[in-house]
Structure 1
Amino acid sequence: MVSKNNFAPVWVETDYPDQVIDVGEVTLGEDCRNKMSDASKRKAEKNTLVQVACALLNSGGGIIVAKSKNKDYNYTTDGIGLDLELGFGDLVKPSLIQDHFSFLQQGIGLLIFVKTWCAGLANDESTNARICSAESHLYKRSGTSAIQIAPTEAAELLQKKKKETKKNRDRQEEPPAKRPLLSSSNQNIEMPNPVKLFCSKEYVRLGETLGFGEDMHVEFKSFEKETSVKKRLSDTLPKYISAFANTDGGFLLIGVNDKTKKVVGCGKDENPSDIENEVDKAFRKVIPVHCAHCEKQENCKYSLKIINVLGESDVHCGFILALEINKFCCVVFSENPDSWKMDGKNIKSLEAGEWLEMMTGTDPVIDQLCQGFEKELSMSAAPPQCKPVYGLKGSARLDALQNTLFPVQTDGINGRPETLCTEMFAKYPNLENIMKPEGVRGVLIMSRSWAVDLDQEKNDEVVFDALLISENSPPTLYTVVQESKPDLWKHARLTAFQLKQKLVNLGGYPGMICVIPKVLECHSGALIPREIRHSDFNLDVCYPDSYGSPDIEALLRSLVIVLLSFRSCVSDQLGCEFLNLLTAEQFDILHSKYYFKNFRKVFVHGLPGTGKTVIAAQLMRKIKITLHCKTEEILYICENQPLRRFMEKQDISQCVTRLTFMREDFSMVKHIVVDEAQNFRKDEDDKDWYKKAKKISKNGVFWIFLDYFQTSHTEYNSLPQFEDQNPIVCLTVGVRNGSSIHDFIIQKMRNIVSSWFSEREVRMKDHMEELCNNANCAHTFSGKFKTLKKTQSEIIDFVILTIQTLFSQGHSCKDIAILCCTKEECVKYYSPLLLQLRKKKKVNFAQADDTDKNSIVFDSIRRFSGLERNIVFVMNPVVHKYQQEIGENLLLSAASRARTQLYVLYEKQ
């Protein structure tokens, strides 16, 4: 068992772009360990190394630095020592040591290179647990024994508990007349009568033989020779509490010989109240962990009967401790597991709840919720820190995105993106040959700042970065600078380190991986030597050969996840976080085509469902780290409160509506991002929001996202004329809506183009027509679209019946929105729908402001602008005469809010 002692290892900054933990001086090699006289020191050293190795395995890998106490140490002849080899071997079972560790001697020290743990196949027959652990400290009953559960079994145990809980809950919800009798297997075990009779006694005789033996529900312990029963209880009880509570409950009888079944007694000189206190302490020491599905949230229950043991002439000879331990609804740990991870620069011991959550983590069940998604990276085959990644069903899959963005040629190096490569090599011609080695295949990926791409602060001394991924060589990150300056090497190392960590912990790359930093002078192309570090154990950047042959395509797929992933807005509905991927079009805008240091003001014309708000959020994150901004220096402006509140929760910037923007002063603001700008209007005092925003951001970034197809009013919106909007970026790839819904949206767009524009708006009409022609859906998921014409009462009945069906299929209130054109329509449908639905099932309606609540959103189309839900009902989308010219726009806007199902319901006149 690994001890939980305080240990000395420290995270150190070295020339290695990796997590490096220095464990100080240890005894290495078999012969040296045999000569050590102090076994406890030897064990402590092994435990320390196992702890550090476990932490690195669970945190993306890294390097352990160990200095040998033996000045004659030679790894080739001495090895690492059998005890350490066994410790590492037990840690990574069922994998082999060489699957996770490489060793390299440097001087009298040893570098231990640790590859990330991965939940994928360890070999042809078995699968690793989700995280690496030395001991679980979870027990169960197996026959007459209490055995420790292997980490790989923890998920199985929890799944079994979930099924039992659900089964019992379903039974309790059935009407009493229909409910079958519960069998003993569905309750705490009904103990055999002999055990119950024995535990009801006030005293027993010394030497008396019990009429029953040990089994799964009964355990005997003697403790007759123990000088301190209290200490033995403290050491022993947690294990048996965990075992009985995690199985079917049972009895621990202390003071009975387990071989002869005879009463021997224990604790003759102990005070019964002290024993009771010790047992109570043991139950407070164990760690009960409730699962998310559990409603009980109670502690492990028990009862203790202390029975007197009498000898001849009724002489007191001790006690029998009859401890009944109830079955627990979830799981009970005897103590926190022996499992560690890196927490920044510290090694952190995982607590039981966190360990269980990580160990049992699974991909979200999205069959009904998000039918348009398909899995790109699964938690069941990824390193411990990874989150599941989903792409759009039928869209460019991960390998297709990789081939589009970072294609690997049959030979030679492919430079990407081409425009940036051309620009930089033209400006700095001496760099091209150095960074394009001949005779190997691979990809050279340029970025104006790889630090920014990895969500790190930009270094303004860096001209650009180039990542070379090629065969037969570790990835190399070239940092190109104007001149050598202090801390540039440190910046290069940290960027390479962050890239390596993200390739593993976000992108899911499971192999041995390092990223080698190199710093180049831009004009000459000369390598700038790294800083020389003076220390007792100077490390050269030299990885073992096992790091020199990465799987190029797999590595590039992980890189695609690193660069294109973002938190899915559906995560909140599921209650667990997972990631989606940007499209190639969205990535191109954010990372290469329109770099905002060159294009300070940009108009983004995005069609419905193309992800304008997603890009706006990603853009603000880039502004923050590239231009070294504080949150209050970036301002996000939209028209309606619900969208403002949604963006405010992301904590990237200040978020206000147009009305607030016009009322208040924003002296701290330097950069502005405007969303849904087509629906902005002039202030009542005839003030112009566009002029104010332009003035505030005159030295900063000013991006305006808009979609004329979703215009919801006929007033002047203060935007410049189409001819004066420059540059214009277009988003035409739909990602939100099922293809059947997308087709309906395209139809409405064509209707708008044909009827909305006057003769003097010919250029704008041509532009909008071109957008329609270029519009396409990024995926093949159809979804469901239906349009019906019914009476008001029939519409109400249809909505109620459809929602009931959706609930029976596993959908929740959080999936549904009911949208009306006007407040009058909202009033007309609100009460009858809510009244009828509450008769069928307990439901609540909420306005668009509360879209994160588990309620059906019931609101106007305008207020729901910029938001989305899986299923949308559009109620009688017929506008008043004075709004007829935007009737199609409102319907299109409502339709584009639906991800998977859309119902457009017209009233019969």
Structure 2
Amino acid sequence: MVSTNSSAPVWMETDYPDVVIGVGEVTLGEDCRNKMSDGKKRKAEKNTLVKVACALLNSGGGIIVAKSKNKDYNYATESIGHDLEQGFRELVKPSSIQDHFSFLQQGISLLIFVKTWCAGPANDGSTKARICSVESHLYKRCGTSTIQIVPTEAAELLQKKKIEQKRNRDRQEEPPAKRPLLSSSNQNVEMPNPVKLFCSKEYVRLEETLDFGEDIHVELKSFEGKSFRTRLSENLPKYMSTFANTDGGFLLIGVNDKTKKVVGCGKDETQSDIQNEVDKAFKKMISVHFDNCEKQNRFEYSLEIINVLGESDAHCGFILALEIKKFCCVVFSESPDSWKMAKIEIKRIEAGEWLEMMTGTDPAIDQLCQGFEKELSMSAAPPQCKPVYGLKGSARLDALQNTLYPVQTAGINGRPETLCTEMFTKYPNLENIMKPEGGRGVLIVSRSWAVDLDQEKNDEVVFDALLISENSPPTLYTVVQEGKPDLWKHARLTAFQLKQKLVNLGGYTGMICVIPKLLECHSGALIEMEKRHSDFNFDVHYPNRYGSPDIKALLCSLVIVLLSFRSCVSDQLGCEFLNLLTAEQFEILHSKYYFEDFRKVFVHGLPGTGKTVIAAQLMRKIKITLHCKTEEILFICENQPLKHFMRKQDISQCVTRCTFMKEDFSKVKHIVVDEAQNFRIDEGDWYKKAKNISKNGVFWIFLDYFQTSHTEYNSLPHFDNQSPRVCLTMVVRNGSRIHDFIIQKMRIIVSSWFSKRDVGMKDHMKKLCNDANCAHKFSGKLKILQKTQIEIIDFVILTIQTLFSQGHSSKDIAILCCTEKKCEKYYSPLLLQLRKKKEQVNFVKADDTDKNSIVFDSIRRFSGLERNIVFVLNPVVHEYQQEIGENLLLTAASRARTQLYVLYETQ
């Protein structure tokens, strides 16, 4: 059962590939007002339908099922009814009803198909709000009128408020002097003397005429009659929100607004009762601060209760003089009338969340990490979407789509080719059934679309195939050995999750549904859907509009669904956004080396190719596919900072090699190793222990010999025995100038260090150098300088000051040295000089890389982590470490995303 706080019964169908909500029996048709004498009941029905529609608009769309009370109802001749149409029209304004709703009658039920809400311009060119709302419950003063702000205007007001807050914060000024009378400014109004004098009186005379009237800061109300308390309770929140959101002002109750004469109010009330009523109204108010608000002021008001005296000083009521202060952010009279789906509930969006969603904007990437380009913007996406960024100058979203899921001029293109060939060779009767005649499109085969969508795998499913083609809605074929009731449920759930993610993650804004079909693998026969017993006892036939998807846009949304992951820069910027895997990274995870077939894999990845990102994605898939608990997956690395970084992702147990060798891991079934080239054997043979623990599970080893930090035996098998082996050569982290510098160091390493090793290793390393490629064209900055120690300190300080003035923060910067001893040499002088320059900075170790402080640590401890800007101080090693000197410098350089400064010390 789904609650919408109305009298109409509401239910949800939870076993269907779409959100289906039933609203019980309602009166439909143009003449519904004549058919229904109970206006309140009809209004309740309309409100229920509008709320449900609002929830679906904000949650990716869906279907509303309304049964007609009139058994003779005919949508074709009677439509939906004027009042309901008006409710939908106001809901989606400034869009048209047909932009978001389609209607189809099945029996006596009307199916209302709801397309997702989407920010951005409407058909008439006007701007739409980020989310859909029935009412904002935000008020403002407009001349002498109090008006509720419509959602579109609310977005504009809120953005102005946020800009105002940022401006005040940046200026860091003391509050300015009181502004001129009735001028518009950011401070509370200095009220004119007549109002102040009037409010300071102990009593006034009945019929006395005020010598001032209504204006932007004054509202007059009479509130006469027996419904005084009701009117006070209903109207006070509105006026409090009005003045708080505008410029502050006075509400005088007990004065006729037309004649300006005192009429009094609350004659039968006591002053304490009135004060209690006002306090109760005040407590209903919802004040919300923006994230960038430093004032965090309280919403305030003051009340003066003035006696009204008639002839012979008879008591004739009161005047309520409320002074409402201007609020630093926004004040709601109550939570916005805006709704969303929360699992199987329709939930009202609370004021704070509504404010956050309404004002959501893309992060200021250009200032803080110039290596990214926008692929999906919040300004033109459904409400649940997060911004998506790809690497600047790299394969953009449409290029990734063309690489992974190209659409031919005719016919159906099967992807990935190897998996299609394998499946259709094994089950030849399926090939023709899943490739319809005519049209063009893509058939995307997966061992489990449920796993691809982060859902639990069903082991009875052989494979899934998603067909996206012209002139038909997307179809998801679930291929099984035999039909069972729970398999139909799994198929529908997977189709449901795919539809939701295409909209709410991938940003698809068209009319969309995903049709599930269950197939028997050997015969290719369709398995009929079992009969269901629920309120929803008929099949949905979607309107024709759903059968003509925008294939290109749909496939681009699918690429976002499958390739997106949370960016590690999200924490730096203070807002979550997504990055995209490269095609090379994606294919390793999804097609070339699927871990169910390749339980042990050696992944050789060049610096900056995203090995740790793939390791994290791999563990998520292991957890879902193999039905694992967190304690059954183990991530092993060499240093503490990388362990802390991965532990925060809450995918697996995370330990260092030393801890792994000292403790028992009896519950562990699967192991992922990162930075394996730097593992030592001082605590014992880690490889042998890990191999034994994971003998029946997954064992993937990520390594990069170019970043080796010691020359001792690391327990890895001989290079020729590292099979199967996969290579990552597409660099995604570093600017192209930094990448070129890294390639130079790689060639030096190959020509010197590896010349002493076996020929197979050397040929392999040479090939990696030749195959290395930068995934983008963002150049970044590289400086290599020779200076004295004092000059290095001065240069670092001046550069940091410049970076701060350009909008960078401490969280962007890391300062690295070859050893901890060299860190000690520079640490205190640098920090002291920065403090003398009045720069409020802190230095932290690599363990605290998520803090808004400059990381100051050794190269080895920062291995596996990254920051936008890296200073490498005097990367010269002792004689006994000369063999790995270039490796350490390469490791340090590869940590820098956008700017790298290599500073050698001269005597």
Tell me the CA shift for residue 797 of structure 1.
0.4
Instruction: Tell me what 2:772 maps to.
Output: 775
Tell me the CA shift for residue 82 of structure 1.
1.1
Instruction: Tell me what 1:845 maps to.
Output: 843
Offset from partner CA, 1:513-570 (integer Å, 9 cap, x none) = 0011111111111111111224565221411111000000000000000000000000
Partner-residue secondary structure (3-state), 1:319: strand
| Residue identity matched to 2:521 | C
| Residue identity matched to 2:563 | L
Offset from partner CA, 1:691-716 (integer Å, 9 cap, x none) = 00000000000000000000011111
Q: Does 1:835 align with 2:840?
A: no
Tell me the CA shift for residue 215 of structure 1.
0.4
Which whole-Å CA distance do the structure 1 matches of 2:757 and 2:775 have between them? 34
Instruction: Pick which of 601-610 and 297-306 moved more.
Output: 297-306
Is contact 1:458–1:625 with CA below 8 Å preserved after alignment?
Answer: yes
Instruction: Tell me what 1:521 maps to.
Output: 520
Instruction: Tell me what 2:640 maps to.
Output: 641
Matches within 5 A, 1:59-70: 59-70=59-70
Tell me the CA shift for residue 33 of structure 1.
3.8
| Residue identity matched to 2:98 | Q
Instruction: Tell me what 1:74 maps to.
Output: 74
Instruction: Pick which of 737-746 and 437-446 moved more.
Output: 437-446
Instruction: Pick which of 104-113 and 140-149 moved more.
Output: 104-113
Instruction: Tell me what 1:29 maps to.
Output: 29
Tell me the CA shift for residue 22 of structure 1.
1.3
Is contact 2:4–2:51 with CA below 8 Å preserved after alignment?
Answer: no
Tell me the CA shift for residue 718 of structure 1.
0.6
Is contact 1:814–1:852 with CA below 8 Å preserved after alignment?
Answer: yes
Instruction: Tell me what 2:899 maps to.
Output: 901
Partner-residue secondary structure (3-state), 2:641: helix
Which whole-Å CA distance do the structure 2 matches of 1:405 and 1:760 have between them? 38
Q: Does 1:98 align with 2:98?
A: yes
Which whole-Å CA distance do the structure 2 matches of 1:457 and 1:822 have between them? 46
Q: Does 1:701 align with 2:663?
A: no
Matches within 5 A, 1:105-184: 105-169=105-169, 172-173=172-173
Matches within 5 A, 1:407-446: 407-446=406-445
Matches within 5 A, 1:247-266: 247-266=246-265
1:885 aligned to which of 877, 883, 887: 883
Is contact 2:55–2:339 with CA below 8 Å preserved after alignment?
Answer: yes
Instruction: Pick which of 180-189 and 214-223 moved more.
Output: 180-189
Cα–Cα, structure 1 residues 358 and 171, in superposed 2: closer, same or farther, change >3 Å? closer
Offset from partner CA, 1:762-811 (integer Å, 9 cap, x none) = 11010000000000000000010101100000000000000000000111
Instruction: Tell me what 1:282 maps to.
Output: 281
Which whole-Å CA distance do the structure 1 matches of 2:809 and 2:169 have between them? 19
Matches within 5 A, 1:367-766: 367-535=366-534, 537-684=536-683, 687-766=684-763
Tell me the CA shift for residue 95 of structure 1.
1.0
Q: Is there any run of 5+ residues in structure 2 with no aligned partner, and where?
A: none
Matches within 5 A, 1:11-26: 11-14=12-15, 16-26=16-26
Is contact 1:457–1:626 with CA below 8 Å preserved after alignment?
Answer: yes
Instruction: Tell me what 1:864 maps to.
Output: 862
Which whole-Å CA distance do the structure 2 matches of 1:78 and 1:658 have between them? 73
Which whole-Å CA distance do the structure 2 matches of 1:309 and 1:631 have between them? 72
Cα–Cα, structure 1 residues 243 and 49, in superposed 2: closer, same or farther, change >3 Å? same
Tell me the CA shift for residue 76 of structure 1.
1.4
Instruction: Tell me what 2:803 maps to.
Output: 806
Q: Is there any run of 5+ residues in structure 1 with no aligned partner, and where?
A: none
Offset from partner CA, 1:256-311 (integer Å, 9 cap, x none) = 11000111111122111111121122111110010001123232111111111112
Is contact 2:634–2:652 with CA below 8 Å preserved after alignment?
Answer: yes
Tell me the CA shift for residue 72 of structure 1.
1.5
Offset from partner CA, 1:202-226 (integer Å, 9 cap, x none) = 11111111111100000000113x2
Instruction: Tell me what 1:54 maps to.
Output: 54
| Residue identity matched to 1:161 | K
Tell me the CA shift for residue 104 of structure 1.
1.2
Is contact 1:481–1:520 with CA below 8 Å preserved after alignment?
Answer: yes
Which whole-Å CA distance do the structure 2 matches of 1:870 and 1:169 have between them? 25
Cα–Cα, structure 1 residues 791 and 6, in superposed 2: closer, same or farther, change >3 Å? farther
Residue identity (%): 84
Instruction: Pick which of 450-459 and 117-126 moved more.
Output: 117-126
Is contact 2:169–2:294 with CA below 8 Å preserved after alignment?
Answer: no
Instruction: Tell me what 1:784 maps to.
Output: 781
Which whole-Å CA distance do the structure 1 matches of 2:161 and 2:887 have between them? 52
Q: Does 1:39 align with 2:42?
A: no
Instruction: Tell me what 1:268 maps to.
Output: 267
> Over aligned residues, Cα RMSD in angstroms?
1.5
Tell me the CA shift for residue 669 of structure 1.
0.4
TM-score (norm 1): 0.97
Tell me the CA shift for residue 366 of structure 1.
1.0
Which whole-Å CA distance do the structure 2 matches of 1:280 and 1:554 have between them? 53
Which whole-Å CA distance do the structure 2 matches of 1:435 and 1:340 have between them? 39
Instruction: Tell me what 1:818 maps to.
Output: 815
Instruction: Pick which of 116-125 and 819-828 moved more.
Output: 116-125
Instruction: Pick which of 522-531 and 744-753 moved more.
Output: 522-531
Offset from partner CA, 1:317-353 (integer Å, 9 cap, x none) = 1111111000000000000111100000100001111
Which whole-Å CA distance do the structure 2 matches of 1:888 and 1:760 have between them? 17
Tell me the CA shift for residue 7 of structure 1.
5.4
Is contact 2:178–2:190 with CA below 8 Å preserved after alignment?
Answer: no
Q: Does 1:345 align with 2:348?
A: no
Partner-residue secondary structure (3-state), 1:234: helix
Partner-residue secondary structure (3-state), 2:803: helix
Which whole-Å CA distance do the structure 1 matches of 2:582 and 2:168 have between them? 45
Instruction: Pick which of 237-246 and 92-101 moved more.
Output: 92-101
Partner-residue secondary structure (3-state), 1:903: strand
Is contact 1:408–1:442 with CA below 8 Å preserved after alignment?
Answer: yes
Partner-residue secondary structure (3-state), 1:327: coil
Which whole-Å CA distance do the structure 1 matches of 2:4 and 2:666 have between them? 57
Cα–Cα, structure 1 residues 657 and 739, in superposed 2: closer, same or farther, change >3 Å? same
Is contact 1:100–1:114 with CA below 8 Å preserved after alignment?
Answer: yes
Tell me the CA shift for residue 127 of structure 1.
2.4
Which whole-Å CA distance do the structure 2 matches of 1:123 and 1:102 have between them? 17
Cα–Cα, structure 1 residues 166 and 436, in superposed 2: closer, same or farther, change >3 Å? closer
Which whole-Å CA distance do the structure 2 matches of 1:323 and 1:164 have between them? 26
Partner-residue secondary structure (3-state), 1:135: coil
Number of paired residues?
A: 901
Instruction: Pick which of 771-780 and 152-161 moved more.
Output: 152-161
Instruction: Tell me what 1:193 maps to.
Output: 193
Which whole-Å CA distance do the structure 2 matches of 1:570 and 1:397 have between them? 19
Is contact 2:13–2:536 with CA below 8 Å preserved after alignment?
Answer: no
Tell me the CA shift for residue 119 of structure 1.
0.7
Partner-residue secondary structure (3-state), 2:111: strand
Which whole-Å CA distance do the structure 1 matches of 2:153 and 2:301 have between them? 26
Tell me the CA shift for residue 760 of structure 1.
4.6
| Residue identity matched to 2:708 | T
Partner-residue secondary structure (3-state), 1:173: coil
Is contact 1:502–1:562 with CA below 8 Å preserved after alignment?
Answer: yes
Instruction: Pick which of 337-346 and 294-303 moved more.
Output: 294-303
Tell me the CA shift for residue 172 of structure 1.
4.9
Partner-residue secondary structure (3-state), 1:116: coil
Offset from partner CA, 1:350-390 (integer Å, 9 cap, x none) = 11111111111110011121100000000000000000000
Partner-residue secondary structure (3-state), 2:904: strand
TM-score (norm 2): 0.98
Offset from partner CA, 1:106-164 (integer Å, 9 cap, x none) = 11111111111111322141122111110000000001011011111222212222333
Is contact 1:871–1:902 with CA below 8 Å preserved after alignment?
Answer: yes
Is contact 1:32–1:70 with CA below 8 Å preserved after alignment?
Answer: no
Cα–Cα, structure 1 residues 312 and 130, in superposed 2: closer, same or farther, change >3 Å? same
Instruction: Tell me what 1:8 maps to.
Output: 9
